[in-house]
Amino acid sequence: MGRLFGTDGVRGVANEELTPLLAMQLGQAGAYVLTKENEHKPTIMVGCDTRMSGDMLANALMAGACSVGANCVYVGILPTPAIAYLTRKYKVDAGVVISASHNPVEFNGIKFFDGNGYKLPDSLEDEIEAMIGSGMKDVKFPTGSSVGKIKYRTDAREEYINHSMKAVNVDFRGLKIVADCAEGAAYYTSIEALKELGGEVVAIHNNPDGTNINANCGSTHMEELQARVVYEKANVGLAFDGDADRLMAVDELGNMIDGDQIMAIIGSHMKNKGKLKKNIIVATIMSNLGFFLMGEANKIKIEQTKVGDRYVLERMKEIDASLGGEQSGHIIFLDENTTGDGLLSALHLLEVMVETGKPLSELSKVMEVMPQALVNAKVPNHKKENYMDYPEIADAIDELNKKFAGEGRVLIRPSGTEPMVRVMIEGKDKEQIDKEAKKLAELIQNIML
């Protein structure tokens, strides 16, 4: 069996790869590993996004946790960042989110937070896997009054909304905002927060039915939002993903504003106000070349990590940075939350617009986006880490590196959550990089399949 945990928890097709049995085992092993040092009876908070399979997996996981003596608090449908925040606020021992983020409805995932709201390090995930692999060897299962129980709470979402609104010191009166909730966990929290702060909100894709999450909407499908912003003559469009831990935006002209641009806008504004700790932003190797050039021009140091918001977060903690994130829209405001937070990102972006009085199209000029081609090569999951073992692929990558040296860059990496190798090329000539990226992705796919 390959490693269960990817860059963002355990993912798979619900009821096929991610079965109720596996969810129960993760509940048992996770509850045991995360709370074994406790003298008291531990409590685990559990929430999910709007997928049909969420209840099935959440209940299986909670059954597992209760079977090793942990209590559970089920808060229902809430954004991932809300679970991270509430885990900390209520001083429970751990948090779990049942979500596959931006993936289609048939997928689901299970990710854990420790008692401080942080995603688990690899070492703890390995320990959980080892416990499952051993069949929970040497674990004494409680009986009678020592088994765990489940408490249901429906009021927790208001706590998260209030916490988020406190992060900004402005109101949004006079702003017309189109918000795409991806038929996901943002459908209530984001809309309520924006309205309570005075925004005129046009909400789209905020009627989740369990089957429509991320379906041609949200941060991975921006076309409808772009058209709607122009049609509504809105000031801004906001696109969340299924579990609302990421944000993409649209300016008043209908242009897409990605995570790099959002970080550049907010980061440079924070620096001007003296609020950007050490004048550092933490980003990943996938950030656009234009983002790094923006850093140089604005005397902001850009720290780079490998791809995955967990690695961004680890580096932020190490160097005490206040802002970090990914091009895909995972943006972390570490003074306010411990994970990517779509709602906080939206509120801070709107705060810059209000405080500067500038439209988003003008604010986005703080960085020039260099043309970037990203093509996915479908490969068997168990082979995706070993693409450089194939001489033909290694030679092709070497040739491209020589070709684009000084004029751009070539970045190849396995996906952390899907059976794919991602090919990314940056350069000045969009047509050329598109052609080369497609050619290399086809080569990788043909050789490795």
| Element (DSSP H or E) covering residue 179 | strand 176-180
Round to whole Å and give the CA distance between 287 and 410.
Answer: 12
Round to whole Å and give the CA distance between 110 and 22.
Answer: 10
β-strands 301-305, 150-152 pairing: unpaired
Contacts of residue 428, Cβ cutoff 8 Å, sequence gap at least 6: 370, 371, 407, 408
**What is the edge-to-edge ordering of all strands in the sheet holding 247-250?**
200-204, 176-180, 236-240, 247-250, 256-257
114 is in an annotated binding site: no
Match 């080892």 to its residue by tokens: 130
Q: Specify the amino acid at residue 70.
A: A
Match 């809430």 to its residue by tokens: 78
Round to whole Å and give the CA distance between 435 and 440.
Answer: 9
Active-site residue (options: 101, 287, 328, 415)? 101
Tokens, residue 72: 């559970």
- For 73: left if phi > 0, alpha if psi spans -120 to 50, otherwise beta; the answer is beta
Helices then strands, each counted (H, E), the chain: 14, 19
The dihedral formed by the CA atoms of 396, 400, 401 and 402, expressed in degrees to the nearest 10:
110
245 is in an annotated binding site: yes
Q: Is 101 a catalytic residue?
A: yes
Round to whole Å and give the CA distance between 263 and 259.
Answer: 6
Look at residue 161 and give its three-state secondary structure.
Answer: helix
Tokens, residue 77: 């449908």
243 is in an annotated binding site: yes
Q: What are the catalytic residues?
A: 101
